[in-house]
Chains A and B, each alone.
Chain A
Amino acid sequence: MSETNLYERYHRQTILPGFGAEGQQKLLRAKVFVVGAGGLGCPVLQYLTAAGVGTIGIADDDLVALNNLHRQVLYSVNDIGLSKAERAADILRQLNPEITITPHNNRITTQNALALFEHFDIIIDGTDNFAARYMINDACVLLKKSLVYGAISQFEGQVSVFKNQDDDDVNYRDIFPDPPKDGEVPNCAEAGVLGVLPGIVGTMMASETIKIITGIGASLTNQLLTFNALTNQVHQFSISAGRETHSQVPKTSSEFLNIDYDWLCSSSGKDEEIDAETFIRLIEKGNVDVIDVREPHELPTANEFPNIRIPLGQLTNNTNGIEADSVITFCQTGSRSLRAVKILKSIFGESKKIYSLRGGILEWKRRIKHYERKKT
């Protein structure tokens, strides 16, 4: 883009006192990584793209679903079943083709977090579970990367900034030292969320990010801000860095790799996986469609129970025949069928119960022999 167009595009913010062409240059040079392109991620991404943050990474392994659209305002009905990270990147490039946007269609894990975060200045946590939040926090403390935190529930939100530059800087564990266990704190799917709430909280997160990059104003460093959409009440709490919480954060990358964050918060989402015995019980109960998501040539064939074969790659466009209230997917080892569960959930939402057979057909064949022997 020509100098004149750049000048024109960002004119209304560069004329702000304290911002100027220098602030704009800082934004264009900045590299921000957004984890989660959902309710919080959408407004964060839109505003950072519009403001001209030069390099933006987006990580999300989820697919767009109909029940996302009331709050995840980047997407439309045409995006249902498609990758959030990739759709977000395409849509944002139309908003601002002058910046670099890289989608990562993967879940952030201990295995890839450090390598991905290393290339960025600021990390933004727009995830939806505690395991990811504690993991992202620890990765940022370890790498000394600033982290912009936001979280929501029903009508309320929280925002904070963790600078992670020296020992006095507060991190997420200074506010919430103990990771909650599964079911202790309900998520959006269970408790509900007002659609505009992540819009407001995510926009606050984008605002904090722009302030840190350009150095204007006072950021929420060592502060926790709470917002209530029903009462319009805003509270701000100061937080101190605790020596004990710093000792909980892994000190080296190998220590980090060895932490099982899913176990720490026991939120591995394993409830969609069923074992062979539950599988048999569900089939006996009836009103269930079983789908083999393997390729046509894959063996062994599953002829012990009625099933239809729809290879994973063709699943999105071939769901017309799925009529029962419960759906069980299986593949060879149980990993493709987990992806199938995601695709089907994005299409059917909560209207069907959708499961994946743990261990796939191979494990099932092994178990069924054992099961038959037990019965006789």
Chain B
Amino acid sequence: MGLHIILFGRLADIAGSSVIVNAVADTDSLISALHKTYPALAESKYVIAVDKRVITSNTLLSENSVVALLPPFSGG
């Protein structure tokens, strides 16, 4: 089983709208792994949500966690 990542907006253009990655312990290690696989992600601005909750600091992940990467939109 891997971790389920959902990507929004332009981030989906970089990595696809839904990816499964190997399980890691926490969001910090997840993000560094993602940035290694998709360097363009490191250049993008986004916030992270774990299990439908926006997080602001490193968060432990469980085997069934769903992680979302949400970029800000400016358009109106």
* Interface residues, chain A, with chain B CB atoms under 8 Å away: 36, 38-41, 125-130, 133, 150-154, 156-158, 174-178, 180, 184-188, 191, 193, 198, 224, 226, 228, 231, 235-240, 242, 244
Contact = CB atoms under 8 A, between A and B. Distances in A.
A185 B76 contact: no
Contact of B76 (A128, A180, A186, A237): A128
Interface of B: 6, 8-10, 17, 44-45, 47, 49, 52-54, 56, 68, 70-76
B75 A188 contact: yes
B54 A151 contact: no
Contacts of A180: 45, 72, 74
Most A CB within 10 A of own CB, among B6, B56, B74, B75:
B75
Contacts, number: 96
B74 A176 contact: no
Contacts of B45: 176, 178, 180, 184-185
A185 B68 contact: no
B56 to A, nearest CB: 5
A41 B76 CA distance: 8
Contacts of A154: 9-10
B54 A133 contact: no
A126 B73 CA distance: 12
Given A151-B73, A224-B54, 17 more contacts: A128-B74, A128-B76, A152-B76, A156-B9, A174-B54, A176-B45, A180-B74, A187-B74, A187-B75, A188-B76, A193-B75, A198-B75, A224-B70, A237-B70, A239-B53, A239-B54, A240-B56
Tell me if A's interface is mostly helix, strand, loop or mixed.
mixed
A231 B12 CA distance: 13
B76 A36 contact: yes
B75 A238 contact: no
Contacts of A191: 10, 75
A317 B72 CA distance: 39
Nearest to B57: A242
A186 B10 contact: yes
Contact of A238 (B9, B52, B56, B72): B52
Nearest to A155: B9
A237 B10 contact: no
